[in-house]
Amino acid sequence: MASDSPVILRTHIPQYTPGGPLTNETSENATDPVHIVLHPSQLPSEFLHPSSEKQLVIGFDCEGIDLCEKGALCVMQLAFQDAIYLVDAIEGGEALVQACKNALESNYITKVIHDCKRDSEALYHQYDIKLHNVIDTQLAYALIEEQEGRKRLPGDCVSFVSLLADPQYFGVPYVEKEEVRCLLRKDPNFWAFRPMSEKMIRTAADDVRFLLYIYQKMLEKLDSRSLWQLLFRGCLYCRCFCTSDKNYSDWPPLPVLPDTLVSEGDASQEEILSVLEVPPGKMGLVIGKKGASILEIKKGCNAADIILGGAKGPPNKVFIIGPVMEVRKAEAIIRGRFVEF
């Protein structure tokens, strides 16, 4: 991928070969450039102008200050097969982020990301960008575990550090991530500092450079039904915290079930996203003492994912994703908490 943006450092983007060995990073193979992008012209044209003829799969992540509806976006990371682009939302401003809108909403560019919810929330509320066509590796991990008969505990979501350390997918520790978390606890504005330090650049690159390899490893494991669920649920998770009075009418349409699954008689039960309003002062009844109530609800509706806004909000909503019957069941149980006490 050609770019006239300066190469700040070089890294190693692992390449996937079916059945082939994993190449560990050394100073000799750290040849893939990391670009700092300050202007749209520094991004690959096939990213800026998505097309059916040049479909792409990229790794994607965002960094910011307490990233959410109002937490400022600072950097967007894009990992291609041979280069990483760090889109500087602070120095490049809104015009640079808006230049990425077509790609982030496009069906022709698959965005591989780990836990899309907060990134999508920030992009939507701050830039009116509807993140679409994602492969969420956190979701993929859960679907593979379920497909292989392992039971998932309610609310048990794999972290990126744990996923990266899993020998099924990569098998390396990510010590630097914890170091950056410590820095963020000391100063939440860490990602806003300019010029970006080498630690910032290296961490931002590390958060995306493994994603394409992990994506290929996961594709090996996912059957056609699980892959469909992954694509569909990814769309729902992108919408999760993106509430507005438009009720998602401004979002791209949800994908249609492939004919192959219908013809095989493997049509999964329809899945939906429900946003349940919690009356003022009642969220404590939903959560319960030390989270006991919400854990019990999740155990009773294990086929549905029940998500709370937490400290970042939204504070008065519960998001429920899953098969229609399980979602309706969860809604009824949660509403019951409002009148029981």
Cβ-Cβ contacts under 8 Å for 144 (sequence gap 6 or more)? 218, 221, 222, 226
User: What's the rounded mean pLDDT across residues 115-138?
Assistant: 97
3-class secondary structure, 98: helix
pLDDT for the residue numbered 177? 83
Q: How many CB atoms lie within 10 A of CB 293?
A: 18
Confidence label for 260 from pLDDT (cuts 50, 70 and 90): confident
Is 237's pLDDT higher than 60? yes
Residue 39: CA atoms inside 13 Å, Cβ hemisphere, count? 6
User: What's the rounded mean pLDDT across residues 264-292?
Assistant: 84
Is 280's pLDDT higher than 70? yes
pTM of the model: 0.93
For residues 207 and 59, give the distance between their C-alpha atoms in angstroms, rounded to a whole number: 9
Structure tokens at 66: 């307490």
Q: What is the pLDDT of residues 293-307, one digit of tens each?
A: 999 999 888 888 999
pLDDT for the residue numbered 264? 56
Kindly report the average pLDDT of the chain as a whole number.
90
- The full set of domains in the chain, from first to last, is 7-239 (3.30.420.10), 269-340 (3.30.1370.10)
User: What's the rounded mean pLDDT across residues 15-22?
Assistant: 77
Is 180's pLDDT higher than 70? yes
For residues 102 and 39, give the distance between their C-alpha atoms in angstroms, rounded to a whole number: 16
- In the β-sheet with 32-37, what is the strand arrangement from edge to edge? 7-11, 32-37, 84-88, 73-79, 56-64, 109-113, 134-136
Cβ-Cβ contacts under 8 Å for 195 (sequence gap 6 or more)? none
pLDDT for the residue numbered 268? 54
3-class secondary structure, 216: helix
